[in-house]
Amino acid sequence: MSEREVLELLRENARYSTADIARMTDLEEDEVEAAIEELEATGVVRGYQAVVDWDKLEDERVRAEVELNVRLDRETGYDDISQRLARFPQVKALRLVSGDYDFDMEVEGDSIREVSQFISEKVAPVPEITQTVTHYVMTSYKENGIEFGDGEDDERLSFSP
């Protein structure tokens, strides 16, 4: 049995039934159930969420990607900073990254003002944070592997040199 196969199918569509997954993997349904229970019990699967196209709703959310630079000291490490930031409900994702900045943080709020206030009043004052750069999301074309759009073909004119 391949837990990896089950995991990939759950990532593709968490609403697949155990019977669906069993058919797609040639496993018995009870084997699929046991695999999912094990993945959940060991913390490999942390939850199930819907992928939302906020542009389709009148109640639009403001989302931003925030770059954070930090300065570590002997008492404070990346994990300490991440625990402080991750506890805020506005923080939807937080990742330690390589490159020009240290953390990539996804933030959501009801308005640009709310997101800006959160960053300036809760994030920027953290002593180890030396710089924040905020990028507001204008449009999402793909989230969690799912493409957004109306399904129509690209109507731009083709160009041949």
Residues 9-41 have pLDDT tens digits of 888 888 899 999 998 998 889 989 989 888 899
- The CA-to-CA distance between both ends of the chain, in Å, stands at 53
Residue 157 placed within a domain: no
> How many domains is the chain partitioned into structurally?
2
Residue 61 placed within a domain: yes
Residue 72 placed within a domain: yes
* 90 residue type, one letter: Q
Residue 81 sits in which domain range?
Answer: 54-139
Residue 7 placed within a domain: yes
Same domain, 134 and 59: yes
Contact of 76 with 128, CB cutoff 8 Å:
yes
Contact of 83 with 45, CB cutoff 8 Å:
no
Q: Is the pTM of this model over 0.75?
A: no
| Cα 103-109-113 angle, rounded to 5 deg | 95
pLDDT in tens, 98-124: 999 999 999 999 999 999 999 999 999
Residue 9 placed within a domain: yes
